[in-house]
Amino acid sequence: MTAATEMVWLGADRFDEHRVEMPELWPGEVLVRVLVAGVCGSDRHTVLGHRDAPCPSVLGHESVGEIVAIGSPGRDAPAPTDVGGGDLQVGDRVVWSVTVACGQCDRCRAGVTAKCRHLRKVGHERADSGWPLSGGYASHMLLPVGTAITRVPDRLGNRAASLASCAGGTAVAALEVATRMLGRADLSGLEVLVVGAGALGTIATAGAVALGGQVAVCDLSDERLRTAGRFGARVHEPGSATAGCFDVALEFSGTPSGVHSGLAGLRLGGVLVMVGAVSPIGEVAVDPEHVVRDHLTITGVHNYEPRHLVRAVELLARDPLWEELVEAPLPLARLHDALLEPAADSRTLRRSVAAVTRG
């Protein structure tokens, strides 16, 4: 097999294209050819210096790929399977979780693999961590034992599928937390506020509508509000007369004003799920009387479980619109532009790269 190519991040906005030998696979490991790697906002924040990240490393954690090799199963590592059910074969088109859990620690055993005590993350590991090909901004990736992998149906294109592994899984996890806190199986008849209509917020919008919710969205971008509208959301103006009428608020903006809008929007028994604040945003004032008198719940979601990845793929496959919301991939060598230049089409939610671009 030929060598792989990866874009090693050297800090700030510096990248170096490396050729690396294909690693030999241990039992149960999976080697994929990366078909499309999306540019998640958190990678942009990393490159702009807004958040700490291991360096040097290969970034990129929102990808879709094709299995090119599977390590022969061994005594301690059975053949890898699709977390949605079934076997995995060479040639399968798949997406995989951001997180790689140990499966052994108390948190994994309790079903919270998202917060495994020995968690490793795709696109977040130092180059010398002992995990070769650990990021999506590469021609190939090695998926260690413990990575949740699921197949992508034919009707879901590569660009849309790439959304599943970070934004999709996380948005679905946030919706599950909201329904669980409300003691409900779905959101039928409930008012849902989505704060921030980037990829996460837009997928959450589609997911909440699919669960029967009445969804309102707030965002600073009219373009994004229009896109959310195509998935069934109406526009919400923070501070308007309709404030205080929501059963669920999903916060994806990661800003103090977004958290404030979400909390202020809740009515009796409401649930605020915070997702966007994955780096320090400062403190946000909470009105304890509002929380007490209105029986509010405030909670958060970080990472997700394998079932959320499967559900994200199902959700994205329901609507062909997702494919056009991820910009056609730039060549991998133009990663710098994909991360730092604005998208050519402001209607897209994501830029992307691919080692081999077609069309």
Using the rule CB under 5 A, is 102 a contact of Zn ion?
yes
* Residue 99: C-alpha distances to residues 123, 135, 215, 225, 269 (Å): 10, 12, 29, 30, 32
Gap between the Cα atoms of 334 and 37, Å rounded: 12
Using the rule CB under 5 A, is 172 a contact of Zn ion?
no
Using the rule CB under 5 A, is 105 a contact of Zn ion?
yes
Q: Which of 34, 108, 195, 349 binds Zn ion (CB under 5 A)?
A: 108
Using the rule CB under 5 A, is 112 a contact of Zn ion?
no
Alpha helices, DSSP H only, in 91-245? Answer: 106-109, 158-162, 167-182, 199-210, 222-230
What DSSP character marks residue 266?
Answer: E
Element containing residue 322 per DSSP (H, E): helix 321-324
Contact region for Zn ion (CB under 5 A) — 29-37, 165-173, 186-194, 204-212?
Answer: 165-173
Q: Which of 8, 9, 42, 353 binds Zn ion (CB under 5 A)?
A: 42
Question: What contacts 5, CB < 8 A, 6 or more positions away?
Answer: 17, 18, 19, 20, 138, 139, 332, 355
Count, residues near Zn ion per rule CB under 5 A:
8
Nearer to Zn ion, 116 or 156 (CB): 116
Contact region for Zn ion (CB under 5 A) — 1-9, 163-171, 246-254, 345-353?
Answer: 163-171
- Give buried/exposed letters for 98-121 (b at 16+ CB in 10 A, else e): bbbbbeebebbeeeebbebeebbe
- Residue 183: how many other CB atoms lie within 10 Å: 7
Q: Which of 94, 116, 172, 349 binds Zn ion (CB under 5 A)?
A: 116
Element containing residue 290 per DSSP (H, E): helix 288-293
Q: Which of 216, 217, 210, 215 is nearest to 186 (CA)?
A: 210
Residue 350 C-beta: closest distance to Zn ion, Å: 10
Using the rule CB under 5 A, is 349 a contact of Zn ion?
no
Residue 107 C-beta: closest distance to Zn ion, Å: 6
Report 260-319 residues binding Zn ion (CB under 5 A): none
Nearer to Zn ion, 109 or 226 (CB): 109
Gap between the Cα atoms of 327 and 94, Å rounded: 20
Q: Which of 40, 59, 143, 332 binds Zn ion (CB under 5 A)?
A: 40
Residue 108 C-beta: closest distance to Zn ion, Å: 3
Nearer to Zn ion, 114 or 216 (CB): 114
Gap between the Cα atoms of 73 and 50, Å rounded: 41
Q: Do the beta carbons of residue 267 and residue 245 sit within 8 Å? A: yes
Nearer to Zn ion, 187 or 354 (CB): 354
Nearer to Zn ion, 199 or 249 (CB): 199
Nearer to Zn ion, 98 or 190 (CB): 98
Binding site for Zn ion (CB under 5 A): 40, 42, 101-102, 105, 108, 116, 166
